[in-house]
A and B are shown apart, each in its own frame.
Chain A
Amino acid sequence: MALLLFATLFPFWWMVRTALTAPRAVFQNTGSLLPVEPTLINFQRVLGLVDPQTAIAMGGSGQAINFAQALVNSIIVSLLVVAGQTTFSAMAAYAFARLHFPFRNTLFAIYISALMVPAIVTTIPNFILVRQLGWINTFAGIVAPTFLMTPFAVFFLRQFFLGVNREVEEAARIDGAGVWTTFVRVVVPITIPALTTLAIVTLIGAWNNYLWPLIVGSDERVRVLTVALGIFRSQTPQGAPDWTGLMAGTTLAIIPTFIIFMLLGRKILDSIQFTGFK
């Protein structure tokens, strides 16, 4: 058990330890468990807070890395996806769970069948579509495929809505509330836990996504963190990558995930058990 925890946590510690090591000291005391010549310079470097000359003097690569911009872009993209996907998927899921309309079950089955299609199959045609729309290197292009729905989100929420006690809704309807009012005033408030769970799963997915933003949004103005890290990694020559800078970048990239984990870890655990066993 101790071995398991060590194997899980050590790589994270090593990342932080390297991020806090002075760039020129990365070649010394390579086995030291603590940062060598501890410094915050790497974080300042990757956030563009020091000028290239200072960075080079400290032993860094001196290339312009603007993770501050990438961090902001990642936040914009993730929040847009979470807001859009949760809202629109919840509406659809509610209709599938409760409302009567023609072809309901057929349409739902079609949605679900899309869960089996590997992402890469739709990625290439979607890239071509976004390109034809002129949305390459725009936030619209990056969020478009996941903004209105994902089959998983609709499926996940529908399962939750099916489990909600109907009587509260029916009481609201008898009191004269319309479908929309019932949904917003009655159903949403009592399914906040499920909606939060979906929002977390979506947030982490959007934050971690790499392939799609890489092909449609590599321009610096819209470049998200994962893409920025990939580019930073390829720019550094094979011989001597800027390890301290890279590790500072990765540390920054996972701080938000870490915070969510601290605040909502229990929820994430519950959702895993839920998605596993419907």
Chain B
Amino acid sequence: MATQRSAIALTGEAVRARRPQRRFHPEAFTAFLFILPSLIGFTVFYAAPAVRGLWISFTNWDLLRPPQFVGLSNYVRLFQDGEFWNALGVTVYYVLLNIPLQTLLAIIIAVMMHRLTQSMLIRGLIILPWLMPPVVVGLIWLWLLDPNLGIVNIALKAMGLPMIAFLGLPQWAMPSIAMINIWQYVGYTALLIFAGLQSIPGSVYEAASIDGASETQMFWKVTIPLLRPVLVFVIVTSVIGSFQIFDTIAITTKGGPVNATKVLNWYIYEQAFSRFNMGYATAISIVLFLILIFVSMIQMRILRAGESDL
């Protein structure tokens, strides 16, 4: 097979040698046609909007009158805007409620599956919520958590506990949203970690047990360190996703009660599409982007993403 490949390489060489004056590879034009549709899509709906977004963030624009260049004043305004800081605080609070618990549960589920079952059916069923539209998940839980008729409250009442307006009380709303999203994403996260567990060679465990390591020691000293690349991927991507929560909130609380769930993405949406402050909304979205880059970099540093222990 190797000789065949080199023979082909040689003919390729020969063809090129015969036409040395040609600047581009003979395929270049065909390749360009292959790339063209995606290039149009990328330029029009990704690259240009990103640049235009930056420009819009330097303007005041209500879509009715022409945009007015205002320099950095949207960014200055943002620093003095109590609602922005509230939204940032609420978002961080959500991420902190969501990620640690979700990751912990996912690890437990993954280890349990790894030990107990190889069933494709179970693996399939636990990712079912992840496949559903967040809008649908929000509606189902809105009903399950209904203050009067929802089954969760009916169950609480049956157990003699007080009924709770989960999504209607400021102190309960965010934890409830976090719980809904853990329900939706924990199975998917567990499956990623499960795949990571399967990639750890059994010989490592054998060696550890020969050296007299206990089950607990093995988990902390072998499993977790070897799982680190997977955990980094899972944590970094789910934190990025969590920072951008929108659908669940749009369907259930719409930022309320009393701004308790007004996360950044909802605040941006409100500024853009109810108050028509396109410039200000875009400025917040760019700040969100910068926050995400910053947070991801810190996580990579802390989790030592570049290294592997295997």
Contacts and interface: CB of A to CB of B under 8 A. Distances in A.
Contacts, number: 271
B230 to A, nearest CB: 7
Given A14-B143, A121-B286, A122-B45, A179 B136 contact: no
Given A117-B50, A154-B38, A30 B151 contact: yes
Identify whether the interface residues of A are mostly helix, strand, loop, or mixed. Answer: helix
A271 B259 CA distance: 38
Contact of B5 (A107, A167, A215, A249): A167
Interface stretch (A38-46, A57-65, A260-268): A260-268
Contacts of A107: 35, 39
B269 interface: yes
Contact of A151 (B42, B122, B123, B158): B42
Contacts of B128: 8-9, 12, 261
B46 A122 contact: yes
A124 B53 contact: yes
B265 interface: yes
Interface in A67-96: 88-89, 91-92, 94-96
19 contacts: A8-B128, A9-B125, A27-B149, A31-B154, A95-B31, A118-B240, A118-B244, A120-B269, A122-B50, A149-B37, A170-B8, A233-B251, A254-B132, A261-B128, A266-B120, A266-B124, A269-B127, A276-B195, A276-B230
Q: Lowest 8 CB-CB distances: which A-B pairs, in order?
A: A148-B41, A125-B49, A92-B38, A99-B31, A208-B133, A101-B31, A149-B38, A100-B25
Interface of B: 1, 4-5, 8, 24-25, 27-28, 30-32, 34-35, 37-42, 44-50, 52-53, 56, 63, 109, 112-113, 116-117, 120, 122-129, 131-136, 139-144, 146, 149, 151, 154-155, 158, 183, 187-188, 191-192, 195-196, 199, 230, 233, 240, 243-244, 246-247, 250-251, 265, 268-269, 272-273, 278, 281-282, 285-286, 288-289, 292-293
Given A179-B27, A247-B140, 19 more contacts: A8-B128, A11-B129, A11-B141, A31-B158, A92-B34, A96-B35, A101-B25, A120-B265, A124-B272, A124-B285, A125-B53, A151-B46, A179-B34, A208-B132, A208-B133, A210-B247, A229-B135, A241-B142, A269-B123
Interface of A: 1, 4-5, 7-9, 11-12, 14-15, 18, 26-27, 30-31, 88-89, 91-92, 94-96, 99-102, 104, 107, 110-111, 114, 116-129, 131, 144-149, 151, 154, 167, 170, 174, 178-180, 183, 204, 207-211, 214-215, 225-226, 229-230, 233, 241, 243, 246-247, 249-250, 253-254, 257, 261, 265-266, 268-269, 272-273, 276-277
